[in-house]
Amino acid sequence: VIPWEGRERMMSGVSDERFRILILNGPNLNLLGRREPSVYGAATLADIERDCRVQAEQWGVELDNAQHV
- 21-34 residue pLDDT tens: 999 999 889 899 99
Q: What is the pLDDT of residue 23?
A: 93
Nearest residue to 61 via CA among 4, 7, 3, 5: 7
Q: What is the pLDDT of residue 50?
A: 95
Confidence band for 59, pLDDT divided at 50, 70 and 90:
confident
Confidence band for 60, pLDDT divided at 50, 70 and 90:
confident
Contact 66, 23 (CB under 8 A): yes
Q: What is the pLDDT of residue 4?
A: 58
Q: Is 23 helix (H, G, I), strand (E, B) or coil?
A: strand
